[in-house]
Amino acid sequence: MTREFAVPPVVFPSGGNPATGNLQQRRVPTAPFQPPRPSSSSIPFMSFDIGPATSTSTLYGGPIGTGGGPSGSANFDDEEPLLDELGIHPEQIWKKTKSILNPFRVNPAVHKDSDLSGPIILYLSLCLFQLLAGKIQFGVILGWIVVSSMFLYVVFNMLAGRNGKLNLHACTSVVGYCMLPVVILSAAMLFLPQASVVRFVIAGVFVLWATRASTALMVALAEGEEEHRGLVAYACFLIYTLFSLLVIF
């Protein structure tokens, strides 16, 4: 089944003057070129018609144009912003990170709903500083964060006993956010001499800072764990010492 396409006329600008008979045999469409359209088309057809002969198409195109056009742009406008859809709230991340900066007065209220995007940002910055120090440890740090948060999750829930309601997401969130001191440590290590006692002393200070912050958060997130504070603190201390080993050596 062959379809007949309307072929636009070929007009040569100069010279060759084709036989005038041919010209009259061809169909001369109006300008701009438009394919012939059946007047009763069941398929709505959105088109931007300029010619007056296409009044039927505007009947179709008009409502569809008004319906489809603004609704198309409204669909795009109605969409959530990308960060909200992904669940990343920058101002919340910033607030949580700022709360870790003061180890003596940790505010557990901001950490009530856990999220993993802040820890991912901190993980990437730690890897970046390690990269600046010449160590490519992306996989190692990620694996160690996963293993250590699982370790802390098991130990904390077992110690808590009946009250053990900390879930793995919140645990990983706490471990990740309290990596902030380790990130700052890795930045500071870039400027310290390689084999000196100062490295160990400063690392010790930062590890204690991270331990204190994470213990305060863990104890505050699971109510009624005050009696096991020292035990949880030692577990957190082990975790952050492990990461500081990566940074120092």
Partner 1 sequence: MYENPRMQPGAPRPLTQSQPNPFEGAFYGAGSGLIRGDLGTYGEKFLGSSSEYVQSNISRYFSDPQYYFQVNDQYVRNKLKVVLFPFLHRCHWTRITEPVGGRLSYRPPIYDINAPDLYIPFMAFGTYVILAGLLLGLQGRFSPDAVQWLFVKGLLGWSLQVMLLKVTLLSLGGVEPPLLDIVAYAGYTFAGLCLAIMGKIILSYMYFVMMPLACLCMGIFLVKTMKRVLSAEVRSYDSSRLHYLLLFIAFAQFPLFSWLGNISLNWLF
Least distance in angstroms from the C-beta of 153 to partner 1? 7
* Residue among 106 and 222 whose Cβ is closer to partner 1: 222
Q: Could you say which residues in the range 59-88 bind partner 1, by CB under 8 A?
A: none
Q: Could you say which residues in the range 218-237 bind partner 1, by CB under 8 A?
A: 227-228, 230-231, 234-235
For partner 1, which stretch binds (CB under 8 A), given 15-23, 49-57, 174-182, 240-248?
240-248
Burial (CB count <10 Å: 0-12, 13-18, 19+), residue 208? middle
**Measured between alpha carbons, how far is 169 from 163 in angstroms, rounded to an integer?**
17
**Measured between alpha carbons, how far is 27 from 139 in angstroms, rounded to an integer?**
70
* Residue among 93 and 127 whose Cβ is closer to partner 1: 127
173: left (phi over 0), alpha (psi -120 to 50) or beta: alpha
Q: How far is CA 74 from CA 44, 48, 70, 78, 83, in A?
A: 20, 20, 6, 6, 19
Which residue in 14, 30, 5, 225 sits closest to 108, CA to CA?
A: 225
Classified as helix, coil or strand, 23 is helix
Least distance in angstroms from the C-beta of 157 to partner 1? 5
Least distance in angstroms from the C-beta of 99 to partner 1? 26
Least distance in angstroms from the C-beta of 186 to partner 1? 14
* Residue among 128 and 242 whose Cβ is closer to partner 1: 242
* Residue among 6 and 140 whose Cβ is closer to partner 1: 140
**Measured between alpha carbons, how far is 178 from 213 in angstroms, rounded to an integer?**
7
Least distance in angstroms from the C-beta of 224 to partner 1? 12
H helices present in 26-137, as ranges:
55-78, 82-86, 90-100, 117-132
Q: How many residues bind partner 1 (CB under 8 A)?
A: 32
Classified as helix, coil or strand, 88 is coil
Binding mask 129-168 for partner 1 (x = CB under 8 A): --------x--x---x------x-xxx-xxxxxxxxxxxx
Q: Is 242 in the site for partner 1 (CB under 8 A)?
A: yes
Least distance in angstroms from the C-beta of 227 to partner 1? 6
46-75 b/e (C-beta count within 10 Å ≥ 16 → b): eeebeeeebeebeebbeeeeeeeeeeeeee
* Residue among 86 and 140 whose Cβ is closer to partner 1: 140
Least distance in angstroms from the C-beta of 236 to partner 1? 11
* Residue among 102 and 167 whose Cβ is closer to partner 1: 167
Cis peptide bond N-terminal to 44, omega within 30: no
Instruction: Give contact residues for partner 1 (rule: CB under 8 A).
Output: 137, 140, 144, 151, 153-155, 157-168, 227-228, 230-231, 234-235, 238, 241-242, 245-246, 248-249
